[in-house]
Amino acid sequence: MYKLRLSLSSLWMQGGEKEMDALKKGFDDIADHDDAMAKYEAGLFLLDKMQKIVDRSEAKSEARKSIFHKVAEIEEIRRAMKRVDFQRQKEASHWERNLWDQIYQMRINLEAECEKSKLERKVKQAEAASGRARITKLEAQLQVAQKNVLDLQGKLDASLVAAESTATEKATMSEELHKTGTALRNLKAEVELCTKNTQVQFEHFQRELDSAKARREELVNTLEPTLKLLFPSRSDGNDSVQLATELVPEGPAAVRRLSESVANISTCHALAVVKSHYPCIDLAAVEEGYATDCFKEDVERLLGEVAPPAAALIKDLDL
């Protein structure tokens, strides 16, 4: 078609004028001048029709190219959406697994700290009990010494020194016991603070985990009606999460099949209604698409004219 148009254009632009003048002169030489003018006008009309045919063919070719480009863009968008959905699911699964690992490790650390604190308390209690037993023993020795003081007048100085030494040792042990009690209280406060901080962190991670579960549940609940509509035979008795995991990758293909089926049914109904009102209509011509003399602006005008009847037909047929 493009070569035909070039040949016609060259005929008109490159010497076409001379040939047309020669043709007109040949027609003027005919004896019947009216007949010659009629043939000349018919030739011009035929040339104009050929030019229009070439223009329409190019318009159809451009329209097909535009449609192919649009289809390619739609396919690219669909593939991009599938890649994004897959990446989001992968990141959510990885994040959830890491969160559970952190919670499990924190629980193990907390249990280890509690066991360590219990062991340290037992050690301190054993040391304190040993100190009290020693004090009791020394007090008993002091009482024995006091009872024998009358009998041991000669050893009075030694007994006094021993008594002072015992008192000093008792004071030292009391001071050590006080320090031990203070250290134990400090350790208890530190353990309580650590427990509180750990509980706060655990509650924070628990809230994040609950939020992630809620978002996943919301996503599954959002997808479930659509998946049941697209796959009615495969959705009975299945878990919602399992249903979404198995069927979401097949969603675009199912939507495409459903769209093609709906378009086919709607087209069949429309042609059947037209055929019922106009039995003699040639449906074979419909397969060729729009008429050859129907341009883009004509198509837009026709679409606007048939839109109201089409809406009424869809409502009447409950499509």
Indicate if the pLDDT at residue 3 is higher than 50.
no
User: Does 312 reside within a domain?
Assistant: no
Q: Is residue 290 part of a domain?
A: no
Output 220-223 pairs: Cβ under 8 A, ≥24 positions apart: 220/244, 223/248
In a domain, residue 293? The reply is no
Distance CA 81, CA 76 (A): 9
Q: Identify the helix (H) or strand (E) that includes residue 286.
A: none
C-alpha 2/C-alpha 283 separation (Å) is 31
Q: Considering the domain boundaries, does residue 137 fall inside one? A: yes
Asked if residue 256 belongs to a domain, the reply is no
Residue 304 lies in a domain: no
Q: How far is CA 291 from the centre of its chain?
A: 46
In degrees and rounded to multiples of 5, residue 34 shows phi and psi of -65, -40
d(CA 114, CA 194): 10
Tell me which residue range forms the domain holding 171.
Answer: 2-230
pTM: 0.31
Which pLDDT score is estimated for 6? 41
Q: Is residue 284 part of a domain?
A: no
**CB of 43 within 8 A of CB of 23?**
yes
How many domains are there within the chain? 1
**174 CA to centre of own chain:** 68
114 and 277 in contact (C-beta within 8 Å)?
no
Compare 12 and 35 and report the one with higher pLDDT: 35
Cβ–Cβ < 8 Å for 240, 224? yes
Task: State the CB neighbour count (10 A cutoff) for residue 244.
Answer: 21
- What letter does residue 137 receive in the DSSP assignment? H
Question: What pLDDT, in 10s, does the model give residues 179-189?
Answer: 888 888 888 88
* Helix residue spans in the chain (DSSP H): 2-13, 16-29, 33-147, 156-230, 240-247, 251-277, 296-317
Selected residue with higher pLDDT from 92 and 177:
177
197 inside domain: yes
Q: pLDDT tens, 123-153?
A: 677 666 666 667 677 667 677 766 765 676 6
Per-residue pLDDT of 30-59, as tens digits, reads 545 566 666 666 666 766 666 666 666 666
